[in-house]
Amino acid sequence: MELFAELDIDNFNEEAILESITEAFSKPKVYISFKYTKKRKVIFYHLQVKVAKTTKDLLQGTAVKDSDGSQTFFIGEFSKNTEIEIKFGIIGFTTVPKAVALIAQTNPEIGYQVDPKTPGETKSIDRDEKWEGKFKYKVQ
Amino acid sequence: MKTQKTILLAILFAIFISESFAQVPLDNIFNSIVGPNSEPIVYNTINMNSFDLISSNIQFSEKNNSQKLVVLPFKLFNDQPNGLIRNLKLNIAQKNGISTFGIGIGLDNSSPFSKRGDDIFNKVDIVSKRVQSEDESDLEYQQYEASYGLYLDKEVANYYENLLKNSFQLTFGFNISYFSIIGGDKVDLDGNGLIDNEKSIESFNYSLGASYTLNSSAGISASLHIVDKLGSAEEGQERVPYLGGSFTFAKRILVLDSNYKTSKDYFKSLFVPSIIFGFTFEYQEAQKNFDFAKDGIIRQSVYTPFLDFKINPKNQFRLGIPIQKLTSQNRDLQSLGPFIQWGFSIANKGK
């Protein structure tokens, strides 16, 4: 997040500083979370976000290993009504009986399940099985 | 007729197990050493060295047909309990009319849920899948995705290879064996003045087993046994305490498919189509009450060279030729009795 991006260094006062912060903090932030059976071992090997024609690699070359049962990634900060496309990839190093992907944003606070799409439904991942997903999201 | 009936039951049992777990992959990692068949003759029914969710073996030979099943019930739970509880085992076996029930606890540091499993996992270093670059065609990116998928498969297989390498397993087991008749009217069918079915418990068995896996192609196993056994259910029998143990060595000697490292079975379970050569030595000696020893035998040594044929995860069997030396109070006997052993195991609940 870039703070004071709109602040004019040649002409500002206290009010301008506060306005700039309000502007920065009111921008919606988007997150993707994965919840899965604790102690099961998974690797998040792919996470990308596409905005307009630009695609960004959110893992930046290094896959993330985890076995805590929960992992959250910051997707980015976007203007309202921006359409983004998220792609993810997870591989089970052990079998994972239950897993689910959720999306969340701030300003306003929104959160719901994106994969599997039916709320409350979970997905299992076999050992050495790759779970890949893709969905579009319009920032509120 | 009896043999045919046993075989039929064995096949029905196998079909039942296969159908019940049809959705479960056969994660048969390495059962030649750490499996329930590492002591094929003297201690076969009481051996609980398996760390699979379910492992069974059915053995056919001229004199001894046996069926056994070892279950680790906590492997069915999604939330894996820690340490000893996770590896709590139950044993059910049958051999020549003697039914055996056992309970055991074990430690297995080749488990991905052990602390060692966590440590090895934390050292895994994987490059993430990159995004498609602007100057890359869809076909080129698909080719990259395919090779990246193979890279991931190999990383998973490497993780399990590293888990197996220099790992050990410990098992403490207690088994109780019953004669075929455990209740009802007391009878003296042979008219010798002694009740034939006076006793119901044939033996109490205590065992401590340890296995060391060098890598996915070789391992050794050793165990100690204390057995308190009756020679028969007849009135007037006294228990005979036995001390014994075993040692097993096995090594893969032939790979049947040289491309196994790209096969689905290998990635899923490290299964290697192969032939394994092994050797087991089992020993048992009575400590006192020699007059009551079963069939008068006070010392038993069994040398069993064997070959494991691992064709595919669902089709594995063992051929063994045990050479037995039996010592009674007044004579020695040597015997030879080939057997075939059919095994089936599921390492974990699939999903």
CB contact under 8 A, B152 and A45: yes
Residue of chain B minimizing CA distance to A89: B129
Whether A19 is covered by a domain: the verdict is no
Distance from CA of A27 to the nearest CA of B (A): 26
Whether A13 is covered by a domain: the verdict is no
Residues of B within 8 A of A45 (CB-CB) are 126, 128-129, 152
- Domain interval for residue A129: 27-138
ipTM over 0.95: no
| pLDDT score at A137 | 96
**Residue A23 vs residue B92, higher pLDDT:** B92
Whether A55 is covered by a domain: the verdict is yes
**Residue A43 at interface with chain B, using a CB cutoff of 8 Å:** yes
- The Cα B48–Cα B42 span in angstroms is 13
CB contact under 8 A, B25 and A94: no
Whether A61 is covered by a domain: the verdict is yes
CB contact under 8 A, B351 and A94: no
Whether A114 is covered by a domain: the verdict is yes
> What token pair was written down for B62?
């001229």
**A42-59 pLDDT per residue, tens:** 999 999 999 998 999 999
Question: Does residue A32 register a pLDDT over 90?
Answer: yes
| pLDDT score at B25 | 35
Residues of B within 8 A of A85 (CB-CB) are none
The residues on B that touch A, with CB distances below 8 Å, are 25, 27, 78-80, 112-113, 118, 121-122, 124-132, 149, 152-153, 155-157, 159, 267-268, 348-351
CB contact under 8 A, B152 and A130: yes
Whether A74 is covered by a domain: the verdict is yes
Give the count of domains, chain A: 1
Q: What's the 3-state SS for chain A?
A: CCCCCCCCCCCCCHHHHHHHHHHHHHCCEEEEEEEECCCCCEEEEEEEEEECCEEEECCCCECEEECCCEEEEEEEECCCCCEEEEEEEEEECCCEEEEEEEEEECCCCEEEEEECCCCCCCEEECCCCEEEEEEEEECC
| pLDDT score at B315 | 77
Whether A127 is covered by a domain: the verdict is yes
| pLDDT score at A88 | 98
Residues of B within 8 A of A97 (CB-CB) are 78, 349, 351
- Kindly report the backbone phi and psi dihedral angles of residue B52, in degrees, each rounded to the nearest multiple of 5, phi listed first: -85, 160
Distance from CA of B351 to the nearest CA of A (A): 5
| pLDDT score at B279 | 92
| pLDDT score at B26 | 35
Fold of B2-112+168-346: Porin (2.40.160)
Mean confidence (pLDDT) of chain A: 93
- pLDDT profile of chain B (351 residues), mean per 10: 48 46 38 61 84 77 79 79 82 90 91 91 97 94 96 95 90 93 76 83 94 88 94 88 94 93 85 90 95 91 90 81 87 75 65 51
CB contact under 8 A, B351 and A37: no
Strand B297-312 and strand B323-328: the pairing is: antiparallel
Residue of chain A minimizing CA distance to B349: A95
Mean pLDDT of the region A86-107: 95
For an interface test with A, the pick among B28, B153, B156 (most A C-beta atoms closer than 10 Å) comes out as: B156
| pLDDT score at B344 | 67
Name which of A37, A62, A67 is nearest B128 (Cβ-Cβ): A62
Mean pLDDT of the region A10-32: 88
